[in-house]
């Protein structure tokens, strides 16, 4: 029996990762959980984020997964080690692939990082970037209002543009050449963010790199699917599905399965 890849986030943001994995591994079945009843994670304490992440992992593990993808930077920053003790399948986070992708892209090694208050507070990106590249100069900034805007589906409104301008204008003086979108919700705001920081700054959306890491991890463990199986996709949320479904439809296109509401 072929098992699925389990993916979770606090809400719709992890769909950016879901979509990249679907492209990279078109025959693998995927189960996604968006913890929409408790979004945002990024304003909560480490203990709470860890507790929610473990509950999400249990839910997915009960459905027989072969790998767990933590498609949430906030959760990746705090709970990877806890999740590795919770489930007996490979656990893949988003921070390491994002940091590596940024260093590969940046010429000057002057790198900006934006994320939730919890992710930026954890210093996880700055620490890793400096570990890989001691000469890196890292400027970090929390942008907490971006997550509710994306959850609302407001990816291109005047309010969103103004919010991005207020948050990000300071980056113009920092001389960065690369900006890590250190929250999986932020790629949905890519064009708004690019407009404010200018076309000279490369935006790093770690979804593609994460998908490559998932592929490598499955290959390493002999877990890649054989042949051209028809994949199945399951989407779950912990609160009303309607708004999630609208964003998912917009983002993943037609053919997404009905979104089911579950209790954890």
Catalytic residues: 72, 183
Among 116, 122, 160, 238, binds ligand DGL (CB under 6 A): 116
> What residues are paired with 110 via a beta bridge?
137
Among 39, 99, 103, 203, binds ligand DGL (CB under 6 A): 39
Nearer to ligand DGL, 79 or 106 (CB): 79
CA distance 76 to 105: 22
Report the alpha-carbon distance of residue 168 to residue 199 in Å, rounded.
14
Least separation in angstroms between residue 153's CB and ligand DGL is 15
Q: Alpha-carbon distance 45 to 223, whole Å? A: 35
| Residues between 222 and 241 with contacts to ligand DGL, criterion CB under 6 A | none
Residue 42 lies near ligand DGL (rule: CB under 6 A): yes
Which residue, 182 or 241, is less far from ligand DGL as judged by CB?
A: 182
How many CB atoms sit inside 10 A of residue 21's CB? 26
SS (H, E, C) 122-147: HCHHHHHHHHHCCCCEEEEEECCCHH
CA distance 71 to 74: 9
Cα–Cα distance for residue pair 179/99, rounded to 1 Å = 10
Query: Contact 94/21 with Cβ under 8 angstroms?
Result: no
Closest contact distance (angstroms) between CB of 121 and ligand DGL is 12
Residue whose CB is less far from ligand DGL, 147 or 197: 147
Q: What are phi and psi of 132, to 5 degrees?
A: -75, -35
Q: Which of 13, 90, 97, 112 binds ligand DGL (CB under 6 A)?
A: 13
Residue 183 touches ligand DGL, criterion: CB under 6 A = yes
Site string for ligand DGL, 57-96 (x = CB under 6 A): ---------------xxx----------------------
Which residues contribute to the site for ligand DGL (CB under 6 A)? 9-11, 13, 39-42, 72-74, 116, 119, 147, 183-185
């Amino acid at each position: 029996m072929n098992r699925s890849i389990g993916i979770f986030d606090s809400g719709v943001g992890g769909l950016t990762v879901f979509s990249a994995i679907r492209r990279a591994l078109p025959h693998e079945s995927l189960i996604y959980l968006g913890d929409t009843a408790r979004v945002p994670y990024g304003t909560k304490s480490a203990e709470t984020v860890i507790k929610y992440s473990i509950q999400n992992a249990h839910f997915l593990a009960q459905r027989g997964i072969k790998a767990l993808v933590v498609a949430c930077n906030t959760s990746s920053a705090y709970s990877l080690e806890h999740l590795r003790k919770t489930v007996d399948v490979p656990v893949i986070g988003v921070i390491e692939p994002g940091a590596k992708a940024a260093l590969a892209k940046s010429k000057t090694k002057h790198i900006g990082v934006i994320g939730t208050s919890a992710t930026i507070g954890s210093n996880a990106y700055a620490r890793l970037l400096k570990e890989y590249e001691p000469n890196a100069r890292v400027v970090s900034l929390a942008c907490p209002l971006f997550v509710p805007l994306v959850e609302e589906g407001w990816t291109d409104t005047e309010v969103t543009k103004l919010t991005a301008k207020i948050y990000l204008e300071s980056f113009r003086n920092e001389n960065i050449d690369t900006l890590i979108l250190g929250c999986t919700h932020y790629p949905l705001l890519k064009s708004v963010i690019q407009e404010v920081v200018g076309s000279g700054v490369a935006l790093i959306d770690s979804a593609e790199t994460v998908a490559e890491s998932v592929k490598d991890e499955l290959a390493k463990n002999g877990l890649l699917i054989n042949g051209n199986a028809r994949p199945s996709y399951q989407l779950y949320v912990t609160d009303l599905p309607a708004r999630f479904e609208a964003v998912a439809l917009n983002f993943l296109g037609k053919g997404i399965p009905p979104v089911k509401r579950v209790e954890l």
